[in-house]
Structure 1
Amino acid sequence: MTESEARPGSRKGRPNYDREFRRRLAAAACEPGASVAKLARDNGINANMLFAWRRRYREQLQAETTCLIPVAVVHETPPQRVAMPP
């Protein structure tokens, strides 16, 4: 395959990791006690890249779990104070 026939989105010299690989590593990096640097080293990637994947993974999880709660605004008058006779 020549350089002009390269598939769109591919970058020469930089690996394009598949989505499932990134998701799996990001989820593993979110586990309690997980060392991001060790996980990155064990999988042959840069730790900063894994930190970025983890950040996007957390943002995605938060976006999926965040929901809006319906709220009704009611205009209430404050309670009146009644003076007690001495």
Structure 2
Amino acid sequence: MAKVSFTGHLQRHLAIEPLTVNGATLAEVLNEVFQRYPALRTYLLDDQRGLRQHVAIFIDGQQIRDRRHFKDLTPANAEVFVAQALSGG
């Protein structure tokens, strides 16, 4: 099971808490996360269902490689961290 946590910026805008979900790939993990927090989908994904430009996801401290299909593996007891960068001037 993967432990998924979120940057404080996302937590300020959505009522989301860290959670533990099943999934062998990031796609499976995200599907479970979106089932629990449907509003999070629009914060993370663009219109083509890929990761938004200013969002980063890390699995065990390593940034994911597949930002479109999320086929990165999530090993047992993986720690997944979702960050949304702040931009602007």
Query: TM-score normalised to the size of structure 1?
Result: 0.25
Which structure dedicates a bigger proportion of its chain to helix? Answer: 1
Which structure dedicates a bigger proportion of its chain to strand? Answer: 2
- The one of the two structures with greater contact order (alpha-carbon pairs below 8 A, sep at least 6) is 2
Q: Which has the larger radius of gyration?
A: 1
Query: TM-score normalised to the size of structure 2?
Result: 0.25
